[in-house]
Structure 1
């Protein structure tokens, strides 16, 4: 019997797990009940469990029926978002202002399903390491992936390679997308502070106008991708916040601009950082304003190794109805990139069905598609049986 059919036998149980997790969401590093739920399930399957890795993370270790030096890691994220859920169904969030708007409840349920199956069959050699990661939504160096690595995840639980996946609204259930090389962008954050003496709007000549200066900066930032980076390197510079001013007739003394830079190549990423600084400093010099630029590289580019992407494609072919091997890259970031920067591995997308009626990532109407659960669980199980 194919793996996905055997796992489908407890599909309804996975749905109950997923609904429980969706109804009880927890924010980054607050996943205490979620972690306890995961640990309890793993214990019941006879899997060795370590709690508290990376704050609230859970790691399970399972050995197969045949000896081998191979060790494969499988990762799911557990945290929710600070969003008030707008859905009205029995499993809607019971935690006001917090919901699983990105499908991490489904990711966790799928990995638990794979763990149950593998613990029952043990038809593999070597071992599998189940990584239930906290704080993916916090991201960057403060997020769960980076913290677990800093706290010795791969030293304590050696993984020769590691795999993860994310649900993808707009892609049909039963479809899997994967490609070698860069798949998701790096992500950086900048903050620009423009300063001068405040003055009356009727007397702008008495100081540097920080509002006008900020306007020039906003326009010039959009020219970085067109004129400061190789046109063959995709990059996005987005100013997402601007703050300043209190009165309609006063030019403020400070304007703050915040935003993000997304790129795929290290060369483009470094070029963008230097360009942001140069553009801001040059414009402020021309208007007479003072400036301070803070720039933080938060996420590395998510890069799938060629061998692991091929392994994922082969394992997925035994499970999914359709495999996309050249999906478009996305400027969305993902902190699994930290794990792939430390270990060979692969990250793929699993179809979540139509993205209509607000069912898009980080939407107050989002809900993971339960029909995708056996596909994801079977994919993880197929990887273990093929790779160990």
Structure 2
């Protein structure tokens, strides 16, 4: 592994910053303290910055040896927000904010980009500009889109943009990137089935929405198994069913909620159309009424082929070919998808290991994303920061075209 010595030497100090961020998690668009910390460090290292884009976003600007005169630029993005969940860990850097936790490693993503920023600012051995994008509100707030709406790519024009996420379960010391879809679109649905309440002992006097809801849920499974192509990945998960207040009363209504995940908009179109038909027609068959709503959140995250290949070669140069894995697509969602709709680029995974890195006092659960026992692996900081630096150097020092 060819990590940069200067980055490795500063890694303990960056890890301390990471643990400070972990101990003080902030939810989407509330990342004021985190943004203050990022801005203070960038200023300390002589990096000009812009604040307030995407409400709490920070953009650092590192010009190369030419002062950015050549006009070429590349963007590196890290997310900053935490999740609204209670941490189970009790080690020294555990969350000090009840009901808030860095359970997805955004603290580590911010730390790795800060480590790269420190090195880039002190060396500047490239021509052009590196834009350091510290983004708020990935966890449901669509912070990437909000930064773009605020002019991210017009005020800071860049040829390509790259993102990175830690990935638990992958062997530590490995990375992965591939072309094409790597994360799914995310959509949420809410279906209200309105029947007619009655006494539970006299169901014939009413229209019971509960068995209708059961049929609707079963019908959704046939969409996945019989309507979409078997090779197209798609998931419909009904995760909430709410109905009734008493055991001897047939309720007036039953509410279903859940999520849909796909890698293509075309499949999402099909699933939404069929879900609506199944819900409305099943209700009509039982003389019930149906209210159907599906909200499309993040689009699929799709890596452009040339940029994915470029990122892979950077990884190979650092790690060797056998440590750079194929990126297995996941049906999780990621708002970096918006940036990849506007710019070429690639979103890669860096292995977080199996959880053996966690300090004493970690929770009893697994070290997986969105788990209350999770913690970022600080041993990733030299590798992740080296990748950012080598990627930026290679991109800006290559022949344009």
Instruction: Name the TM tier (shorter chain).
Output: over 0.9
CA displacement at 1:364 relative to structure 2 = 0.8
- For the residue of structure 2 that corresponds to 1:10, the secondary structure is helix
Judge which range, 320-329 or 228-237, deviates more. Answer: 320-329
Please tell me whether the aligned partners of residues 199 and 252 of structure 1 are also in contact (alpha carbons under 8 angstroms).
yes
- In the TM superposition, what whole-angstrom CA distance separates every residue of 1:131-155 from its partner, at most 9, and x where no partner exists? 000011124xxx2111111111111
Gaps of 5+ in 1: none
Q: What is the correspondence of 1:188-199 to structure 2 with a 5 Å cutoff? A: 188-199=187-198
Rounded Cα–Cα distance in structure 1 between residues aligned with 2:27 and 2:20: 15
Please tell me whether the aligned partners of residues 3 and 382 of structure 2 are also in contact (alpha carbons under 8 angstroms).
no
- For the residue of structure 2 that corresponds to 1:240, the secondary structure is strand
Rounded Cα–Cα distance in structure 2 between residues aligned with 1:3 and 1:48: 26
CA displacement at 1:227 relative to structure 2 = 1.3
Rounded Cα–Cα distance in structure 1 between residues aligned with 2:355 and 2:302: 26
* Aligned position for 1:135: 137
Of 55, 61, 83, 1:81 maps to: 83
CA displacement at 1:231 relative to structure 2 = 1.7
- In the TM superposition, what whole-angstrom CA distance separates every residue of 1:263-308 from its partner, at most 9, and x where no partner exists? 1122211100101101101100111110010011111110000011
Of 124, 127, 151, 2:126 maps to: 124
* Aligned position for 1:286: 285
* Aligned position for 2:360: none
CA RMSD for the aligned pairs? Answer: 1.4
- For the residue of structure 1 that corresponds to 2:93, the secondary structure is coil
**TM-score of the pair, normalised by structure 1:** 0.97
* Cα distance, 1:88–1:221 mapped onto 2, change above 3 Å: same
- In the TM superposition, what whole-angstrom CA distance separates every residue of 1:135-191 from its partner, at most 9, and x where no partner exists? 11124xxx2111111111111111210001000000122100100011111111111
- For the residue of structure 1 that corresponds to 2:192, the secondary structure is strand
Gaps of 5+ in 2: 357-364, 397-401
Rounded Cα–Cα distance in structure 2 between residues aligned with 1:257 and 1:4: 52
Whether 1:217 aligns to 2:219 is no
- For the residue of structure 1 that corresponds to 2:297, the secondary structure is strand
* Aligned position for 2:179: 180
Rounded Cα–Cα distance in structure 2 between residues aligned with 1:74 and 1:137: 19
| Count of residues in Structure 1 that have an aligned counterpart in Structure 2 | 385
Q: What is the correspondence of 1:232-243 to structure 2 with a 5 Å cutoff? A: 232-243=231-242
CA displacement at 1:89 relative to structure 2 = 1.2
Please tell me whether the aligned partners of residues 318 and 382 of structure 1 are also in contact (alpha carbons under 8 angstroms).
no
Whether 1:5 aligns to 2:2 is no
Whether 1:18 aligns to 2:26 is no
* Aligned position for 1:55: 55
Please tell me whether the aligned partners of residues 313 and 325 of structure 1 are also in contact (alpha carbons under 8 angstroms).
no
Please tell me whether the aligned partners of residues 3 and 382 of structure 1 are also in contact (alpha carbons under 8 angstroms).
no
Rounded Cα–Cα distance in structure 2 between residues aligned with 1:202 and 1:3: 72
CA displacement at 1:68 relative to structure 2 = 2.2
CA displacement at 1:355 relative to structure 2 = 4.7
Judge which range, 87-96 or 276-285, deviates more. Answer: 87-96
Please tell me whether the aligned partners of residues 78 and 135 of structure 1 are also in contact (alpha carbons under 8 angstroms).
yes
- In the TM superposition, what whole-angstrom CA distance separates every residue of 1:209-244 from its partner, at most 9, and x where no partner exists? 100100101111111111111222111110011111
* Aligned position for 1:377: 385
* Aligned position for 2:114: 112
* Aligned position for 1:359: 367
- For the residue of structure 2 that corresponds to 1:125, the secondary structure is coil
- For the residue of structure 1 that corresponds to 2:282, the secondary structure is helix
- For the residue of structure 2 that corresponds to 1:9, the secondary structure is helix
Rounded Cα–Cα distance in structure 1 between residues aligned with 2:24 and 2:326: 36
Rounded Cα–Cα distance in structure 2 between residues aligned with 1:280 and 1:273: 11
Rounded Cα–Cα distance in structure 2 between residues aligned with 1:346 and 1:214: 41
